[in-house]
Structures are given as structure tokens and as C-alpha cells.
A and B are shown apart, each in its own frame.
Chain A
Amino acid sequence: MVGQVAVILFDGFAFGMLLFVLSVGLSVTLGLMNFTNLAHCAFGMLGGYVTVVLIRSMGVPFLWTLPAAFLAAAVVAVVLERSIFRLLYRAGELNQVLATIGIVFVAAASAAYIFGTGQLPIQLPAFLRGSFEYGGQRFGLYRAFLSAVAVCVAALLVLGLEHTRFGARVRAAVDNQRVAQGLGIDVDKVFAVTFALGCGLAGLGGALAIEIVGLDPSFGFHYLVYVLIVVAVGGLGSIGGSFIAAALLGIADVAGKYLVPGLGSFLIYLILVAVLFVRPQGLFGRR
């Protein structure tokens, strides 16, 4: 019984960590920049396709494709930020939602046109396949790897935003744009970099997700709901909050399906409602 609990916690945590990497970027842009970017998972899809193409057509090792997925999503994000998104910063939430969901449709159609509508499988390197045994229970190697990557990402983000000069600028720009600008902070540039960072993380998440959930042109829609739930439960702009919310939801999802399969995937929605009922600003939200 103890062993089974350990397996469920492990699997749930790993799934939660996948959600964390996919959603933390949105939490940053939504919380820090007040920009509702529903196209966030489209950047995840982009990262996924970069990984698939690099592995399948060029034989690049899986681990090297991860930074490539991050960079590709970040670069595309900068281009789009400079051209489209910046026009929307002051456009109001409804316009932001409509414009960014439109971008998801464009992304889905483009992916279907370029890569086809089917699944594009990848083959992981041998050291990430299969499982290891501990205490009589089997744990998936890839899930362990995924959890480790996510914990590193979380630590780097917290360090970066709390303890570096750039992080201080971002927080200043968010707290009061005009004063920050008056102090000589280039708010435009800070936002562009923040946005690129957030989308790059989504790209990384998309690349990591292929092995667990697959990749097809509907990815941008499919995981949007999960990502929004993580951000809402965790609280806007809180990296620690996203981390805890993602872990909680991942574990609840897996445990719920294991213990009460009839309730299935509905449990996370119950948690969403319960949390927002008690804390409408999310677990760690400030506003």
C-alpha cells in the first residue's frame, strides 16, 4: 500500500511538473504584464514541433533539442511581441483574448498544413526509456527526468526574479510602469524579454510533453484549459504558486483516477472551484 501511494505521488508529481513548465510562462506574463495570452500553448506546440523535426529529420539527440525548442519559441515570441502583441497591451482584456485565441487557430491550421494532422512520434534515448525499481515499485525514468528539469526551472526562475538586477527591473516595471520609466528602466525591453522567457518555457514544456501526451496540431487548444487552471489556482505572477498548484493538480488528477475512476478527470475541476471559492485570487495571488 505504501508502495502504491509512492507510485501515485511520483506519477502525479511528474504530470504536475509537466503542467508547471507549460504554464509558468503564462503566469509570469499574465501576472507581471497584465497580458492575457491564450496563445501560450501555441508556443508550446511550436517547441514540440521543433524537437520533432530536429530528431526525425536531422538526428539531433533529444537533450540538445530541448534548448533549441526553448530558443525557437522565445525568438518567435519576440517577433510576435514586437509586431502584434505590443499593440494589445492597452487594448483591454476582451481584445487580448480574441486576438490571442485567433493566433491559436492560425497556429493550429499552419501546423496541420506543414506537418500534417497525424501524430509525430519520437524515440527517446535509451537512458530515458523504461523504468527503475525502488522498494518493489517501478518508477518511470522519463518522469523522474521531467520532474528534475521542472524543479531546476522553478529554482532558476525564483532566483532570477528575486535576486538579480533584471528581476528587480521586471518587478519595478510591474509595480509602477511610469515611475520605473522615470528611473531609467527600459520598460518596453523588459517586457519583451519577459514575454520571450515565458514563451520559451512553454516551448520547452511542449518539447517535454511529446513523450507523455503526444503532439498534434490541436495541442494549443488541448492544454490551454489545464494551463489556465494551474495559473488560476496558483495565483497570477507567483512562480511558487504555479509550482504548488501544478503539483497539487497533477497529484489530484492521478490519485483521483486511481481511487475513484468513475469521477475520473473531473476532480481537478472540483479543486479549481473549491480553491477559487475560498481564495478568488488563487493560492498565492497578491491581488
Chain B
Amino acid sequence: MKNRVVTWTLAASALGVGFGWAASAYAADTVKIGLIMAYSGPFADTANQMQAGIDLWLAEHNGEVAGKKVELIKKDTGGPSPDVAKRLAQELVVRDGVDIIAGFTLTPEALGAADVATQAKKFMVVMNAATSVVTEKSPYIARTSLTIPQVNYAFGKWAVEKGGVKQAYTLVADYGPGHDAESSFAKGFKEAGGTVVGADASPVANPDFSAFVQRIKDANPEAVYIFIPGGAQPPAIGKALAERGLTPPKTKLFGQGELTLPEALESMGDTAKGIVTTFHYTMERDDPLNNAFVKAYRDANKNRSPDLFSIGGYDGMHLIDAALKKTNGDTDGDKLIEAAKGMAWDSPRGPVSIDPETRDIIQTVWIREVKEVDGKLQNVVIDSIPNVKDPLHGAAK
């Protein structure tokens, strides 16, 4: 019943708004992009960095995609709430008449908006929301960020085969992405012959890690694998580990890249040396495209460095631009998603492409180690695994 009402509302408004909008939009040669993100609340920093990535791309391209002026309409979800995201997506489609919906800092936002994209047949670009299942929720979704299993499954194998570790203890944040990370790392790790000697989940908003770290110390494993959201937690856990003497090279520390973001490294200091992380984007990687991107980003953002959210937004804009060029500016959702499938380009993060089957991103997974370079701690790339697909999409079929 509810669905039918939505459909009718959308259909009716598409008729009503559609004509007026089509005339004005094409005549004025603008493309309206609706952005749904958590601009306020505890995840506001994520949205800020992503917006800065989007803005940088636009600034570098005269504010145009495929020769048309871009009009951004920003909607704030305030946090991980699917119902708000759905309502905002409806508003964007019905009231603002957007051509494309994009953004999505958090998985619940993307899941909430997916139905609207399907019903309204709008191209939807997910620029972060890293849970595997997101792209399966609507045939109009393409993703330009990463999936957590993508970077962690390959990393689990790498830890045994090249990292030389046989047993590990895992500690992850107790929420969807944390469980995804734990299971995919453990899967890769076990398949390559390693054993997981213990697994704990810490509360998502965890002010103090000392108890969990003590449990790890009691188990005395060869290595520890950690997944926690960025922000206050990486330095907190880094310091708690250092207080117990759980630091490389004695105990190897593995994690996803959030663990060693620049702010965390600054706060952890020398104890961070030797931590090995897996990520799809390494800000410090020496590559002409990346160096130019980092420099331009810092110039535009008071010297703040880009991170995974920035690159997700930046590449998301590239995908929109490239897909629109392929359709000659036609913003029809079916045509745009067809154009996006198989699209490949060189991003500052390395070579990427959109998987024609899953509409998810295929990219290089970088393995990095924290080292001191010119007196500053940095993530130095020590290995790479090219063309990694999300391992879960295949498994679901």
C-alpha cells in the first residue's frame, strides 16, 4: 500500500514537475545533482571531506559536467537514518527535480534512498557507504568508494602469505562494517592457513580500550587485526596498545587504513611505526596524478589533507561526468547506468573501473606500513594487489 502511494506520488509529480523541469533544465543546460549526506552530527567530518572532494573536482572543471553547469542541492541526514535519507531522496526527485542523486556517506542513507532511485529511475552514485550489499539494492546504483570485504579479504591472505604471520587476534567495532571487516579478514586469513586465536567486538562509541587490549595481551598473539571507525578511536587504541607493549615488531599490528590516518599518526607518535594497513587510497603515494590531487586539495582546504571520503567524492564526480559524456548529456537513469558499467579511468588512487556486473568499483588494494619519512610518520606503500573485486557479490549469486 505504502509503496503504491509512493509510486503514484512519484508518477504524478514526474508528470507535473517533469514537463516544466525538462524544459527549463535542458534550456538552461544545467545538471541538477542532489547530495544526501550527514552534513551535521557525529559523522559531519566525513561529509565535509567528501564535499571538499566534490567541490575540488568541480573547481577543476569550471563547475561543469559534460559541458553543462552543475547545480548541487545538498540535503542533510544528520546521521545514519534510512528513513530520513528516503524522505530526502523523495524531496530531491519530486520537489527539486534532480537528475542524479549522489553522496551517501553512510550505508543506512544509501539503503534508504535505493528504492527511490529504482522507482524514479535515477542514476545514483554512492561515494562512500562501504557495506557490500548497497549496490544490490537498486539497479541504478554505482559505487566509487570501496567495500570493506574488498580491502580486507585480500589483506587477510596477504598477512599470511607475505606478512609472515600464522596467528592473529581480531578486535573490531561492534557494528555492521566492523563485523564485515572481521569476517572478511578472518576468511582470507584462514584460507591462507592462518588461525584466529581470539575475536572481540568493542562498542562503536567506545571511550576506553584498555580492557580489550588487556584481553589481547593475555592471549599473547603474533599479530592483532583492528577495525575501528576513524575519529577519536584510532589514536586511543594505538596508545592503549603501546601502554601494554603491544607494538611492532614484537606484536604485528594490522588494520584498515582508518587506523593510521594522518591525525591519528600525529597523536600516536613513534609507537605507530610498523603498523601495516590495507586501503584503497594512500594520500602519501608518490604518483603524478595523486601528487597534483593532494596539492590542489590542500590549497583549497586550509592545508587539510584528502582522505578516503575526499577521493570517493572526487571520483564520483568523475564518473557522473564520464557517464554523461557517453550519453551526450542525456540524464535518463537507464542510459546513465549503462554508460557507467565497465567505465575505467585513472584516479589519484590508482587505476579503477566499474564492474559491469555488480556496478561496484574494481581497484588496487594498497598495503602500507607506517614509516618515518623526513622526520614525519607516513603510510608507505609496501605492496599492492591489483584489480580487486568485492568478494561477497560473487558469493551471493
Contact = CB atoms under 8 A, between A and B. Distances in A.
A121 B239 contact: no
Contacts of B233: 214
Contacts of A258: 211-212, 214-215
Interface in A58-77: none
A255 B243 contact: no
A130 B242 contact: yes
Interface stretch (A36-44, A112-120, A234-242): A112-120
B211 A214 contact: no
A129 interface: yes
Contacts of A121: 235, 263-264, 266-267
B281 to A, nearest CB: 17
Contacts of A217: 44
Contacts of B202: 257, 261, 264
Interface in B229-286: 231-233, 235-236, 239, 242-245, 263-264, 266-267, 269
Interface string A17-55: 000000000000000000000000000000000000000
B6 to A, nearest CB: 33
A110 interface: no
A130 B218 CA distance: 19
Count chain B CB atoms within 10 A of each CB in A4, A123, A212, A223 and give the residue with the most.
A212
Contact of A117 (B44, B267, B269): B44
B224 to A, nearest CB: 15
A212 B237 CA distance: 9
Contacts of B235: 119, 121, 214
B269 A123 contact: yes
B266 A8 contact: no
A216 B231 CA distance: 8
Given A211-B239, A213-B232, A213-B236, A117 B211 contact: no
A118 B266 contact: no
A85 interface: no
Interface residues of A, number: 41
Nearest to B244: A138
B314 to A, nearest CB: 18
Interface string A142-186: 010000000000000000000000000000000000000000000
Interface string B52-71: 00000000000000000000
A212 B207 contact: yes
A216 B239 CA distance: 18
B200 A261 contact: yes
A264 B208 contact: no
A15 B210 contact: yes
A226 B174 CA distance: 20
B48 interface: yes
Given A112-B44, A118-B263, A212 B203 contact: no
Contacts of B236: 212-214
A119 B230 CA distance: 9
Given A11-B211, A254-B211, A131 B244 contact: yes
A212 B215 CA distance: 19
Contacts of A139: 243
Nearest to A7: B214
Given A117-B45, A216-B231, A130 B243 contact: yes
A261 B214 CA distance: 12
A118 B232 CA distance: 9
Contacts of B269: 123, 129
A101 interface: no
A207 B350 CA distance: 41
Nearest to B199: A261
Contacts of A15: 207-208, 210
B200 A212 contact: no
B244 to A, nearest CB: 6
Nearest to B268: A121
A43 B18 CA distance: 51
Given A121-B263, A213-B232, A257 B239 contact: no
B12 interface: no
A121 B263 CA distance: 6
B201 interface: yes
B211 A138 contact: no
Interface of A: 4, 7-8, 11, 15, 112, 116-123, 129-131, 138-140, 143, 211-218, 222-223, 226, 253-258, 261, 264-265
16 contacts: A117-B44, A119-B231, A119-B263, A119-B267, A121-B263, A121-B267, A131-B242, A212-B236, A213-B232, A215-B232, A255-B211, A258-B214, A261-B201, A264-B202, A264-B203, A265-B206
Given A116-B45, A138-B244, A264-B201, 8 more contacts: A116-B48, A118-B45, A118-B304, A140-B239, A216-B45, A218-B41, A222-B207, A258-B211
**The 3 A-B residue pairs with the shortest CB-CB distance in the complex, in nearest-first order:** A214-B232, A121-B267, A257-B211
